[in-house]
Amino acid sequence: MPVYQLYIGANKAKHTNSVLMMEAIKKKPRPAFKEGPISPQFIADSIAKHTSKTNIGAHQIFLGQVRADVIDEKVVTGIEYSAYPEMAETEFHNIREAAFEKFDMICMHIYHSLGLVKTGEISLFIFVSTKHRQEACEAVQYLVEQVKEKVPIFGKELLSDDSHQWKVNT
C-alpha cells in the first residue's frame, strides 16, 4: 500500500494525493477489457458521468484507433486482440496505482479491446480527470506509454489477402 504524505505550506496544506484517490486505490482491480471495439456511445457515456464532479477542471482522453496500414502491399483490415486476462488485469492495476502516486488525478479509466477490432474502430480508451490541464495531459501520455510497454496484449493484424501477422508495439 502506498504511503500518503501531507505537506504543510504557507497557510495551506497540500495532499500529494487526494482522499478520492486513496479510496480508488484501495478498491480491487477494475476490469479494463471490453469485448470488441470500444463504441463512441461508451466513450460519450463515460464523459457524461463526470459532469456532476465539480472539482474537476480538466479531462484528457486518448483514443487508440486501428489504422489501415499497408504491409507488403496488403492492407490491414483489423486487429484481433488477445491476452492472458489475469496477468494483463494485474498489470493494468499496477499501472493505475503508479499513476495515482505520480499524478494528482481525481479520476482515471483505462479500457482496451479484446477480440476483433476493424480498421477505423477504437481499441484503447484512456480517460483522466484532474484539477488542471497540464497534469491531465502528462498523465495520459504516461498511461499510454505504460500500457504499450507493460501490458501483455497481443495483436494479430488481419490483412486484405486473408493472411495475418503479429503486431509489434512501437
pLDDT of residue 52: 86
By DSSP bridging, strand 105-118 and strand 153-159 are unpaired
By DSSP bridging, strand 153-159 and strand 164-166 are antiparallel
Crossing angle of helices 85-102 and 19-26, rounded to 10° = 160
Contact call for residues 122 and 38 (beta carbons, < 8 A): yes
Q: What digits encode the pLDDT tens for the residues 103-154?
A: 999 999 999 999 999 999 999 999 999 999 999 999 999 999 999 999 999 9
Mean pLDDT of the chain: 86
Across residues 8-30, what is the average pLDDT? Answer: 46
Give Cα 44 distance to the centre of its chain.
15
CATH architecture for the domain at 6-166? Alpha-Beta Complex (3.90)
Residue 94 scores a pLDDT above 90: yes
Closest CA to 102 of 79, 135, 133: 135
pLDDT of residue 31: 87
Contact call for residues 108 and 135 (beta carbons, < 8 A): no
pLDDT of residue 161: 97
Domains of the chain by residue range = 6-166
